[in-house]
Amino acid sequence: MLKQVSIYAENVKGKMLEITSILANENINILGSVTNDSAEYGIVRMVVSDPNTAVKVLSEAGIICKLTDVIAVEIMDEVGNLQKLLKALDDANISVDYLYLSFNRESGAPIMVFHTHDIPEVENSLRSKGFVLCK
């Protein structure tokens, strides 16, 4: 199971720069992210090299954030592989709340990061179907 940093960021000029500066100052690498915005606040979801420290330093800077469990599955960069992953989840009656892309820094293979409920059960289901999970 992978830990994601979920950040609740005010929609104001320079907020992403502030967040990324705090992480860079702590030598924390952003490995994957997605941002969803609304009128006043956005949610920035990131997989980073040191999630515990990221939450600590962002919180100390007054930025609301938390750790969230997510699943990361390595898939080959070929047409239809995301569809195969989503089909396997659908066949197991598993709903995906959101997903985004990252990459395995060693192999260069895409990694789909996603959130769902009952993560240990979903991980077991995916492993039994031959999917490679990342930590």
CATH code where residue 81 lies: 3.30.70.260
Per-residue pLDDT of the chain in tens (135 residues, 90 and over written 9): 799 999 999 888 999 999 999 999 999 999 999 988 777 888 999 999 999 999 999 999 999 999 999 999 999 888 999 999 999 999 989 999 999 999 888 888 899 999 998 898 899 999 999 998 987
On whether both 79 and 31 belong to a single domain, the answer is no
Give the CA diameter of the chain. Answer: 46
On whether both 40 and 92 belong to a single domain, the answer is no
Q: How far apart are CA 4 and CA 45, in angstroms?
A: 7
Q: Which amino acid type is present at position 97?
A: D
On whether both 57 and 89 belong to a single domain, the answer is no
On whether both 55 and 97 belong to a single domain, the answer is no
Last residue of a domain, one of 30, 45, 68: 68
- What is the total count of domains within the chain? 2
The enclosing domain of 42 has a CATH number of: 3.30.2130.10
On whether both 58 and 74 belong to a single domain, the answer is no
Check residue 1 and give its pLDDT: 78
Which pTM value belongs to this model? 0.86
On whether both 80 and 37 belong to a single domain, the answer is no
Check residue 39 and give its pLDDT: 72
Check residue 77 and give its pLDDT: 86
Specify the long-range contacts of residues 91-100, CB closer than 8 Å, at least 24 apart: 92/122, 92/125, 94/122, 94/125, 98/34, 98/36, 98/45, 100/32, 100/33, 100/34, 100/45
Domain containing 126 equals: 70-134
